[in-house]
Amino acid sequence: MAIRNIRTLGDEILLKESKPVKEITPRIRELIDDMFDTLYEQDGVGLAAVQVGILKQIVVIDIGEDDPIVLINPRIVETSGEQTGSEGCLSVPGKAGIVTRPDFVKVVYMDENMEPQEREGTGLLARAFCHEIDHLSGKLYVDKVEGDLKDVVPREEEEE
């Protein structure tokens, strides 16, 4: 278990396509563990493997309400509705912007044992599915922001 270095805006790897995972190896398990460590250390809700420099279709999500979710080779198969709200990304530190996303999303994916799964999400979870799955095809939310990216005051500064 370890914290990995998060790639940030301007790093070209973030614009690349991630490749499907074929089998779960010990290295992939370690990567998933490290992705959760990194996510929690940064207080994020989701992280894609490309953000720690690995071009594999792996996403971890924890919106703090349910069990943590690991998505391997995820694909969005159904969306409906619309939500407009603030979004941020660990690869774009200190910024946030308004993005419109579907309000309901269904994903199919493999779990950590390469068993096929499907899961539905609404609200924040639907937003997280869209945002993280976008990362796997090299897309960043900054290209979908309505209006300007805004500066977000880091929590430590807020407390002073």
Site for Ni ion, rule CB under 5 A: 89
Q: Which is nearer to Ni ion, 24 or 55 (CB)?
A: 55
Secondary structure of 47-98 as H, E, C letters: EEHHHHCCCECEEEECCCCCCCEEEEEEEEEEEECCEEEEECCCCCCCEEEE
CA nearest to 125, candidates 42, 65, 38: 65
Q: Does residue 132 carry a catalytic annotation?
A: yes
Shortest distance (Å) from residue 80 CB to Ni ion = 23
Among residues 112, 118, 132, 160, which one is catalytic? 132
Shortest distance (Å) from residue 87 CB to Ni ion = 8
**Helices H / strands E in the chain, number of each:** 3, 8
Q: Which is nearer to Ni ion, 72 or 89 (CB)?
A: 89
**Cα 110 from chain centroid?**
16
Q: Which is nearer to Ni ion, 24 or 139 (CB)?
A: 139
CA angle 97, 144, 33 (to 5 degrees): 75
Q: Give the whole-angstrom CA distance, residue 103 versus residue 48.
A: 21
Shortest distance (Å) from residue 92 CB to Ni ion = 7
Shortest distance (Å) from residue 89 CB to Ni ion = 3
Q: Which is nearer to Ni ion, 41 or 114 (CB)?
A: 41
Sequence-distant (≥ 6) Cβ neighbours of residue 67 within 8 angstroms: none
Q: Give the whole-angstrom CA distance, residue 34 versus residue 40.
A: 10
Residue whose beta carbon is closest to Ni ion: 89
Active site residues: 132
